[in-house]
């Protein structure tokens, strides 16, 4: 047995064996720790379902939405794209958008575009089929436009109005109030009619009065008169919208309402 000249009381063979033993022990300890310790990456980021996966991916993408555009230049009306429909919506707060319910029906995750064609994402947190209204929560912390404000007054026949879409405004007037129609087997009453024609993709467009306050949004167009558009008044819906903001519905709750 040889002796280490630097450590005369430690045989070289013994030292080598100890060194090898330490390496083996360290490797075994590391392997055991990896098996017992949960995968933190998967624990934090692994999606429970496809909806969660899309939602998390959209959060990352939407953080860059409209950051380069000054707030005062942003239009509060956006184009909406869901699984089955295209439509229009409008900001009512920094991170909430109102649209017609049938625009988002069947979808939870929503894509929308501003007038500069920048895209962002949101998810439905409120829905009422009977009044054809939905509320979308915007995902991310992007720069948002100044929201539109609701009118507390019900309009009268002859009042001047403006229909807003994502890229244009059209003037007209109220032609009737308190109208009733049937839409998708639902009776809609207390509707307003205006003499502004609309096209596919304009459902959910806000309609404002002479003070630029929102009196309602487009819910349907007439099949008899191309110049007549039906508007859902906001006076009866403000309470529901505020409730959804305070207590958002979960994705499962939204899906059951469809």
Least Cα distance to 137 among 253, 256, 255, 251 occurs for 251
Q: What six digits make up the tokens of 65?
A: 């939405």
Q: What is the pLDDT of residue 240?
A: 94
CA 9 to chain centre: 74
Intervals of CATH 2.40.10.10 along the chain: 63-147+239-257, 160-235
Q: What is the pLDDT of residue 43?
A: 30
**Helices and strands counted in the chain (H then E):** 6, 12
CA–CA distances in Å: residue 89 to residues 4, 18, 75, 101, 107: 82, 72, 11, 10, 15
How does residue 35 score in pLDDT terms, banded at 50, 70 and 90?
very low
Is residue 100 within 8 A of residue 206, CB to CB? The reply is: no
Model pLDDT for residues 155-201, shown as the tens digit of each residue: 999 999 999 998 889 999 999 998 877 766 677 778 999 999 999 99
Q: What is the pLDDT of residue 166?
A: 87
Q: What is the pLDDT of residue 200?
A: 92
Q: What six digits make up the tokens of 219?
A: 């819910």
CA–CA distances in Å: residue 157 to residues 148, 154, 174, 176, 214: 23, 10, 5, 5, 16
**Confidence check: pLDDT of 202 > 70:** yes
Least Cα distance to 192 among 168, 165, 161 occurs for 161
**CATH number corresponding to 160-235:** 2.40.10.10
Q: What is the pLDDT of residue 159?
A: 97
Q: What six digits make up the tokens of 92?
A: 């009512």
Question: What does pTM read for this prediction?
Answer: 0.74
Q: How far is 165 from 175, CA to CA, in rounded Å?
A: 20
- According to the 3-state scheme, what is the secondary structure of 97-164? EEEEHHHHCCCCEEEEECCCCCEEEEEEEEEEHHHCEEEEEECCCCCCCCCCCECCCCCCCCCEEEEE
Is residue 126 within 8 A of residue 240, CB to CB? The reply is: yes
Model pLDDT for residues 61-103, shown as the tens digit of each residue: 444 444 555 565 678 999 999 988 999 999 999 899 999 999 9
Model pLDDT for residues 116-131, shown as the tens digit of each residue: 788 889 999 999 998 9
Q: Are strands 229-233 and 77-81 parallel, antiparallel or unpaired?
A: unpaired
CB atoms within 10 A of CB 243: 13
Model pLDDT for residues 12-29, shown as the tens digit of each residue: 444 444 544 555 444 444
User: Which range scores top for mean pLDDT: 137-146, 174-183, 212-221?
Assistant: 212-221
Q: What is the pLDDT of residue 157?
A: 96
Answer CATH for 63-147+239-257 from 2.40.10.10, 2.60.120.380, 3.30.830.10, 3.30.70.1520: 2.40.10.10
Please provide the average confidence, as pLDDT, over all residues in the chain.
78
Q: What is the mean pLDDT of residues 202-227?
A: 94
Q: How far is 5 from 145, CA to CA, in rounded Å?
A: 79
CA dihedral (111, 116, 117, 120) in degrees, to 10, reads -30
What does DSSP assign to residue 11?
B
Is residue 53 within 8 A of residue 45, CB to CB? The reply is: no
Q: How far is 177 from 216, CA to CA, in rounded Å?
A: 12
Q: What is the mean pLDDT of residues 140-151?
A: 82
User: What percentage of the chain has pLDDT greater than the value 90?
Assistant: 52
């Amino acid at each position: 047995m040889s002796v280490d000249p630097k450590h005369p009381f430690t045989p070289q063979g013994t030292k080598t064996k100890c060194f090898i033993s330490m390496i083996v022990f360290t490797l075994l300890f590391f392997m055991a720790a990896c098996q017992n310790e949960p995968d933190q990456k998967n624990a934090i980021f692994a999606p429970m379902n496809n909806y969660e996966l899309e939602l998390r991916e959209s959060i990352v993408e939407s953080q860059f939405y409209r950051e380069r555009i000054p707030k005062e230049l942003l239009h509060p009306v956006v184009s909406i794209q869901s699984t089955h429909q295209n439509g229009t919506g409008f900001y009512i707060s920094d991170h909430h958008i109102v649209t017609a319910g049938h625009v988002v029906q069947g979808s939870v995750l929503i894509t929308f575009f501003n007038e500069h064609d920048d895209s962002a994402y949101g998810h439905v947190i409120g829905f009422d089929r009977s009044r054809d209204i939905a509320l979308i929560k915007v995902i991310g912390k992007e720069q948002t436009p100044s929201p539109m404000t609701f009118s507390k007054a019900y309009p009268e026949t002859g009042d001047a109005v403006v229909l807003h879409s994502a890229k244009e405004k059209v003037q007209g007037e109220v032609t009737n109030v308190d109208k009733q129609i049937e839409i998708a087997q639902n009776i809609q009453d207390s509707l307003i009619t205006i003499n502004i024609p609309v096209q596919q993709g304009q459902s959910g467009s806000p309609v404002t009065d002479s003070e630029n306050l929102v009196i309602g949004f487009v819910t349907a167009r007439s099949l008899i008169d191309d110049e007549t558009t039906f508007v859902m008044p906001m006076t009866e819906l403000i309470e529901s919208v505020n409730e959804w903001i305070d207590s958002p519905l979960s994705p499962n709750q939204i899906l059951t309402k469809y």
